[in-house]
Amino acid sequence: MNPAPVARSVVRTRLLTSVPIVDEVLRAYASELGHDFIAYRNHVYRVMNLCAAIAEDGGDLEKIAVAAVFHDLGIWANNTFDYIAPSAALAREYLAAQGRAEWIAEIETMIEEHHKITPSEADAASLVEPFRRADWIDVTRGLRTFGVPRQLIRSVFAMWPSAGFHWRLVQLTVDRLRTHPLTPLPMVRL
């Protein structure tokens, strides 16, 4: 299948700055996030804004918000750097509790493939590929743009600065490398 199109135009001219689902979930996991709370919150908001810019017609913001808030949460909630499955499980439990079981498959795939190196083969109408691209833009701090205007990327980072998120990823990677030298990045998929 063809991946989602490169951002042709930015649908949103105003950045998303407060999304109730995100704020609610983050509050629920505040103790697990600890000192990384602001760093992770900012990462979530950057990914949401970038995904909305990439997705056709801005995408379904509620789905984007759920995927964004849970996509890396397993790092802290399950205390593991092999966090894809735990993060997907947290999202699945949340969606079931919210009566959104019909979203589970797409959001699980968004989480499972967000570190995929190659384009997703998911349905081009889904949010999987826009979400994957948004996370790569954020993790690379805009080195990869996937056609998103650099000005938008700068605006997103200005509104939601790294606050140590990228440095924390380096620390987690080094720690994982020490304990699992053969699988230092278990979340990366081809």
pLDDT digits (tens, 9 = 90+) for 50-104: 999 999 888 899 999 999 999 999 999 999 999 999 999 999 999 999 999 999 9
Residue 185 has pLDDT above 70, yes or no: yes
If pLDDT is split at 50, 70 and 90, which confidence band does 190 have? confident
User: Alpha-carbon distance 18 to 45, whole Å?
Assistant: 8
63 belongs to a structural domain: yes
In the 8-state DSSP scheme, what is residue 133? H
| Separation CA 182–CA 59 (nearest Å) | 38
pLDDT digits (tens, 9 = 90+) for 98-134: 999 999 999 999 999 999 999 998 888 899 999 999 9
Q: What's the confidence (pLDDT) of residue 124?
A: 86
d(CA 187, CA 161): 24
Q: Residue 60 and residue 58: Cα distance in Å, rounded?
A: 7
**Is residue 187 in a domain?**
no
For residues 25 and 181, what is the distance between their CA atoms, to the nearest angstrom?
33
Report the CATH number that the domain containing residue 172 is assigned in CATH: 1.10.3210.10
> Does residue 186 belong to any structural domain of this protein?
no
In a domain, 10, yes or no: no
Q: Which domain range does residue 48 map to?
A: 20-179
Alpha-carbon gap, residue 61 to 50, rounded angstroms: 11
Rounded to a whole number, what is the largest CA-CA distance in the chain? 44
Structural domain includes residue 130: yes
Is 87 in contact with 80 (CB distance < 8 Å)? no
pTM score, whole prediction: 0.91
Number of domains in the chain: 1
Residue 83: inside a domain: yes
Placement of tokens 């995100």 in the chain: 22
Asked if residue 88 belongs to a domain, the reply is yes
Q: How far apart are the C-alpha atoms of 58 and 76, rounded to whole Å?
A: 29
Within a domain: 12: no
